[in-house]
């Protein structure tokens, strides 16, 4: 994952960092040994990415196997995944490490993830009620998510192009 | 590369430690890390922080440059130059 350091605006004393420290048990003596800490951080990155994949796969399986009745459970799984991902990115950002390199998002390893997303969207559209509050909510969620993904792809392509032009 | 690995970069820690006559466990205890970390540093599997590198150099009576600098790569066993002259 590509990232760059911010311009020294990292913060450590805020409530968010304090809460995250409690959740992550970051004051545990285990973290005092630097190699243990580094290796554990790598292990956590692997685990986090795995959870992202598994949560999306589980949500997709739910909607295809469970039909419309599984929509609330699917939404819960995606919300949990989204909260965890948001907290992760926010924590890094608050400490001055920003992950906003759109060009770095376009990687072959994300193709299966994109395929899962498409399968999820198609599955949701297939089983969602066509009218009423639930229908409108689901359709809006799918449309919004699809627009976000397309925007990320567009930003990635633009960033790549800028990088290439800058290299010439 | 984002891993903790030093990617096969050689250093003079093992030679300096052997010359000092201390064990990996003793060095680990002196600098406040586990023995596995010392093993990993000596093998070039782990790039220590500047603070750990300083602590190791201090304990072995040398400098970080002598242990981890380019000279230490040239001085690795089998290269013809033996490590420890600068320590």
Q: Residue A137: which pLDDT band, with cuts at 50, 70 and 90?
A: confident
pLDDT one-digit tens code per residue, A22-76: 999 999 999 999 999 999 999 999 999 999 999 999 999 999 999 989 988 998 9
Find the chain A residues whose C-beta atoms sit closer than 8 A to any C-beta of B.
1, 32-36, 38-39, 42
Instruction: Please tell me whether the overall predicted TM-score, pTM, comes out greater than 0.95 for this model.
Output: no
**Whole-angstrom Cα distance, residue B7 to residue B43?**
10
pLDDT one-digit tens code per residue, A107-117: 778 888 889 98
Do A56 and A117 meet the contact criterion of CB atoms below 8 Å apart? Answer: yes
**Whole-angstrom Cα distance, residue A125 to residue A62?**
13
Q: Do residue A34 and residue B34 have CB atoms under 8 angstroms apart?
A: no
**Residue ranges per domain, chain A?**
9-99, 101-168
Domains of chain B and any CATH numbers:
13-74 (1.10.260.40)
Within 10 A of B47 (CB to CB), how many other CB atoms are there? 19
CA distance B33 to chain A (A): 6
Of A58-72, A81-95, B19-33, B65-79, the poorest mean pLDDT is in: B65-79
CA distance B54 to chain A (A): 14
Interface predicted TM-score (ipTM) of this complex, two decimals: 0.72
pLDDT at A43: 96
pLDDT at B9: 76
Q: Is the pLDDT of residue A101 over 70?
A: no
Find the chain B residues whose C-beta atoms sit closer than 8 A to any C-beta of A.
2-4, 32-34, 36-37, 40, 46, 48-49, 52
**Whole-angstrom Cα distance, residue B38 to residue B44?**
10
Q: Is the pLDDT of residue B56 over 80?
A: yes
SS3 A97: strand
């Amino acid at each position: 994952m590509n990232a760059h350091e911010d311009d020294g605006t990292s913060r450590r004393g805020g409530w968010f960092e304090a809460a995250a420290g409690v959740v992550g048990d970051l004051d545990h003596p285990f973290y005092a040994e630097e190699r243990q800490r580094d290796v554990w951080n790598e292990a956590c990155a692997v685990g986090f990415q795995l959870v992202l994949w598994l949560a999306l796969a589980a949500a997709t399986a739910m909607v295809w196997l469970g039909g419309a009745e599984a929509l609330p459970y699917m939404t819960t799984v995606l919300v949990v995944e989204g909260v965890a991902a948001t907290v992760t990115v926010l924590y890094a950002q608050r400490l001055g490490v920003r992950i906003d390199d759109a060009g770095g998002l376009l990687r072959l390893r994300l193709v299966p993830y994109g395929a899962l997303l498409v399968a999820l969207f198609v599955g949701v559209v297939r089983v969602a009620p066509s009218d009423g509050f639930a229908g409108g909510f689901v359709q809006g969620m799918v449309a919004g998510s699809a627009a976000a993904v397309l925007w990320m792809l567009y930003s990635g392509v633009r960033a790549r192009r800028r990088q290439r032009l800058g290299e010439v | 590369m984002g891993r903790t690995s030093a990617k096969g970069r050689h250093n003079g820690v093992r030679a300096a430690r052997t010359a000092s006559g201390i064990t990996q466990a003793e060095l680990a205890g002196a600098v406040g890390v586990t023995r596995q970390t010392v093993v990993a540093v000596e093998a070039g599997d782990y790039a220590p922080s500047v603070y750990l590198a300083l602590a190791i150099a201090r304990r072995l009576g040398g400098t970080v440059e002598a242990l981890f600098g380019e000279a230490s790569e040239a001085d690795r066993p089998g290269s013809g130059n033996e490590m420890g002259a600068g320590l």
